[in-house]
Structure 1
Amino acid sequence: MAFYDREEELAALERAFDEPGHDVVVLYGRRRVGKTELLKRFLADRDGVYYLAAQEAEQRQREKFVERIATHFGDRLPALTGWDDAFDYLGERLVETGDPTVVAIDEFPYLVEENDSVPSYLQGFVDEQLAKTDSMLVLCGSSISVMESEVLGHDSPLYGRRTAQFDLQPFGFSEALEAIDYPFEAALTSFSVTGGTPLYLTLFDYDQSLETNVREQVLTPTAVLYNEPEFLLRSELRNPARYMSILEAIASGRTTPNDIAGATGVETGPLSKYLQTLRQLRLVERVVPVTALGQSSKRSRYRVADEFLRFWFRFVGPNRSSIEAAPDAVYGQTIAPNLADHAAETFERVCQEAVWAAVRDGTLGPYGAVGTWWYGEEEIDVVGLSPEDDRILFGECKWTNEPVGPALVESLRAKASAVRWGPPDRTEQFALFSRSGFTDGAEAAIDESWELFELERLDGLLRTESSD
């Protein structure tokens, strides 16, 4: 897989390794986000040992780990009977050689699954041996729940030992643009299908049309992406069926707890626990009006956190029987007519990302929080807040085939007056984002407090971000 972006994380790893003293680095995140590629790039030009754990018996795991260490140091394979001996052997060799070395254990949760005492053995290794060296231990894992409890949690023997941690996230749209070789509009629609997970981005062939990629990479039963969400859930959950029904409900537009409960048949009490688990796994986000951030708000909504998962649970999961029989019909009759509507929600997220980019380049703001707002039937796609100087931003996003006219200008002004935030003399700024540009009437209806963003301007703004 090609290595995209991650320059910031790579530079941080390099800085930590180059500084005096030992390091314990925790690298974790959802599967497919590029953790292993980052590790391999980091290890490419420095002395290191990379060990990839597997789901196999503890003894075999330990034998392979010791074999990797012995091979690295040019030793004959020692006979060791426990993880404590294995880490003692590693520590002795690091101290004896004195050379700064990276020891990376990938998919560390597999070791813990077979022996939950491994973190305790590692604690002794870190405190008694690694601390005497300039070497680095990297613990990497895809099971977020295990990494957060067994490595980062207060009750973990390793708590307080880490010197750095990286919670690797999927790419935002500006970062993904480096990989998506389509014109901007098609790139955004493609991103609404793949999301920002590096593997999913690189599975698409951008010399082919988006339709061809969806048919071949998502709607083909033998393709990786066809069963990917189910694989992800099974890797974290023993019984994912209920969670899949919840994700399908959210992806289809049931975003409030009551609506989700009605669609799935799960009572609201148990539902809150399921939703909390999905949030911990980074599969679902709880959203409140941006004006309610930091408060206990009952006006919460849930959304699928990843664009590919949202696409899959809307179009693929509910139609797998039909896909097996007639994938072309599913694309033509179900996906194609609704793809623009699906991409419109992605566009709103991209516009919020663009607001942050515009804040950084000085076009807007600055703002300390950016999100959405709603109350009753009223909703505003983008709202930015700057409490320090009582300034607020209102924005609307239109992914339509027609240019935006003055009616949207007046509508946004009216809705803005309903947002209760700040003093009566607050400073108001406005922004409109349009797939198809703006009419002369829209431009005539605004003043200097407004900014208009058509796709060409967004393209320049976000591609500048990705190249910085």
Structure 2
Amino acid sequence: MTTKPEQLFDRVIEWNALMSFATRPTTSAQLGIVSGRRRMGKTYLLRALVERLGGFYFGATTATAAESLRQFGAALSDFTGAEVPISFQNWDHAITYLFGLGAQSRAENATLVVIDEFPYLVRSVPELPSLIQREIDRYQTEPSGIRLLLCGSAMSVMGGLLASSAPLRGRAQLELVVRPFGYREAATFWDVAHDPALAVRLHAVLGGTPAYRRQFLADDVPDSVAGFDPWLCRTVLSPHSPLFREARYLLAEEADIRDTALYHSVLAAVAQGNNTRGGIAGYIGRKSVDISHPLTVLEDCHLLVRETDIFRSGKSLYRVAEPLITFYEAIMRPAWPRLESGQAEQVWARSAERFAAQVAGPHFETICREFMLTEGIDLLGSDAVFGDVGCGVVTDSRERRQIQIDVAVVQAGSGGHRSAVSLLGEAKWGVTMGVGHLERLIRAREVLTGGGFEVAGCRLACFSGTGFSEALRERACEDPDVLLIGLSDLYGR
């Protein structure tokens, strides 16, 4: 009964965490928080859990407090099999009744309760977290078999449930974020793992969001790289497709975002390569201090990711977390009137260079870093120590230039030991890599030596989506510290 349902793709870690929470043998009430951006399959996952274990599921809607209360009472009537409809005077009574159901069951016969789209309820019933906190505290001393899962997609709201002085702070035994599929899992889900070149392009546009394949596109999947362009024009770039406005909806759905124009400008700045705070501020015509709040909100919503320069702890770089938003800001937004009038083929025909530079190229670098976080660590040998994986800039004072390192693995120093660099890598999506790319990495390694880093075991990696020159292949054969990593390596082909 505890095994994952066959129809549930991947999500083994998430399923095991939820199952462990729901079946935990304890005599006190338990609280879990499940969050994640929309379209990740949270509801599908939780419904499968309720179907497998039994329990009460309530999906909130955008409604007033009174209407939601009636819906909640009706759902409880169906769950309990009450002969007459259950009617509550207020939400205080409803929550008291709900936890009372858990008090009637023993820990070995737990009552699973799932409240989905919880932010909708909080919006109309702000006191709800406090009411739940009161009952959670009460049933820490009194026996209860309730296992309450609160789920929602508004990341800023869900993240705030357990933050600082929030009522539910310190009350949760589970905090699960349902994330997009990794690039390899996404390729398998879309049935394109056999064609890594197509898989990268597809992932650069739609990422690892499960709902886009079945709910949005009804299993319309490109069958080859040659079929990618017409597929893109009839789906993402078509005004008749539900994906056409999806990037806009992702931003509009977040409760803390009011001035959508400002937030779109911030995302557009990052999508076009302005990945520092100063660069973003300059692009949108604001002072750096004026964009602190939008950057924080976008981070809280999991739409923007801030990454520390792996070589300079005081420097941060930003990237857009959702590939579809990057594609929208770089390709669709500048040509929106033409796309709305049905000129997808013409727009896309003029976007190849911009797609490679602003979408596929940066996304390929992200895939390479994800590779080094997972299977790629084996390339560094069995004695390799897990370190931080990231990117950064190496300043070459002698040559008066900055060397961009797309992929780096660094172990932080401690106990008098210097930080050790295990790998320096450069990633190129549409360029055949040559000896010149390797020479830049060699120079970066020399500079880091003078900068106080330990580089004795540092290997140099060239990641390419196109291929490698014959001269570079010969260098790799002669030098075991040089790694050439292509698409087939990234996808385990």
Judge same fold: TM > 0.5, yes or no. Answer: yes
Task: Report what 1:67 is aligned to.
Answer: 74
Pair 1:310-2:326 in alignment: yes
CA distance in 1, matches of 2:68, 2:431: 57
Letter in 2 for 1:398: K
Task: Report what 1:465 is aligned to.
Answer: none
Does the CA-based 8 Å contact 1:286-1:303 persist in structure 2? yes
Query: More helix by proportion, 1 or 2?
Result: 1
Provide the secondary structure at the position in 2 that maps to 1:393: strand
Does the CA-based 8 Å contact 1:430-1:451 persist in structure 2? yes
CA distance in 1, matches of 2:9, 2:341: 37
CA distance in 1, matches of 2:345, 2:196: 27
Provide the secondary structure at the position in 1 that maps to 2:374: helix
CA distance in 2, matches of 1:318, 1:4: 36
Does the CA-based 8 Å contact 1:195-1:308 persist in structure 2? yes
Segment drifting more, 279-288 vs 412-421: 412-421
Q: Residue 427 of structure 1: CA displacement?
A: 2.3
Task: Report what 1:407 is aligned to.
Answer: 436
Q: Residue 348 of structure 1: CA displacement?
A: 0.8
Equivalent residue for 1:262, pick from 277, 282, 287: 282
Q: Residue 335 of structure 1: CA displacement?
A: 2.9
CA distance in 2, matches of 1:246, 1:334: 24
Task: Report what 2:14 is aligned to.
Answer: 9
Segment drifting more, 405-414 vs 67-76: 405-414
Equivalent residue for 2:386, pick from 362, 367, 373: 367
Q: Residue 177 of structure 1: CA displacement?
A: 1.8
Which residues of 2 match residues 50-449 of structure 1 at below 5 A?
50-75=57-82, 76-98=84-106, 99-129=109-139, 132-149=143-160, 151-182=161-192, 183-202=195-214, 203-204=216-217, 205-208=220-223, 209-236=227-254, 237-292=257-312, 295=313, 297=314, 299-341=315-357, 342-361=359-378, 363-364=380-381, 365-374=384-393, 375=395, 377-387=402-412, 390-400=420-430, 402=432, 404-419=433-448, 422-423=452-453, 426-446=456-476, 447-449=479-481
Pair 1:36-2:43 in alignment: yes
CA distance in 2, matches of 1:197, 1:101: 31
Equivalent residue for 2:34, pick from 27, 31, 45: 27
CA distance in 2, matches of 1:382, 1:455: 15
Taking structure 1 as reference, are residues 4 and 421 closer, same or farther at Cα in structure 2, changes over 3 Å only? farther
What is the RMSD of the two structures over their aligned residues, measured on CA atoms? Answer: 2.2
User: Structure 1-normalised TM-score?
Assistant: 0.90
Q: Residue 139 of structure 1: CA displacement?
A: 0.3
Letter in 1 for 2:320: V
Letter in 2 for 1:142: S
Does the CA-based 8 Å contact 2:380-2:422 persist in structure 1? no
- Alignment size in residue pairs: 454
Does the CA-based 8 Å contact 1:359-1:366 persist in structure 2? no
Provide the secondary structure at the position in 2 that maps to 1:70: helix
Taking structure 1 as reference, are residues 303 and 362 closer, same or farther at Cα in structure 2, changes over 3 Å only? closer
User: Structure 2-normalised TM-score?
Assistant: 0.86
Segment drifting more, 331-340 vs 86-95: 331-340
Q: Residue 431 of structure 1: CA displacement?
A: 1.4
CA distance in 2, matches of 1:113, 1:73: 27
CA distance in 2, matches of 1:435, 1:362: 18
CA distance in 1, matches of 2:343, 2:91: 50
CA distance in 2, matches of 1:139, 1:81: 22
Provide the secondary structure at the position in 2 that maps to 1:181: coil
Q: Residue 174 of structure 1: CA displacement?
A: 2.1
Q: Residue 423 of structure 1: CA displacement?
A: 4.7
Letter in 2 for 1:454: G
CA distance in 2, matches of 1:105, 1:185: 41
Q: Residue 25 of structure 1: CA displacement?
A: 0.6
Provide the secondary structure at the position in 2 that maps to 1:140: strand
CA distance in 1, matches of 2:204, 2:145: 44
Q: What is the percent sequence identity of the aligned residues? A: 29
Relative contact order, higher structure (CA 8 A, sep 6+): 1
Per-residue CA distance 1:238-275 (angstroms, 9 max, x = gap):
22111111111221222233332232122222112211
CA distance in 2, matches of 1:424, 1:30: 40
Letter in 2 for 1:49: F
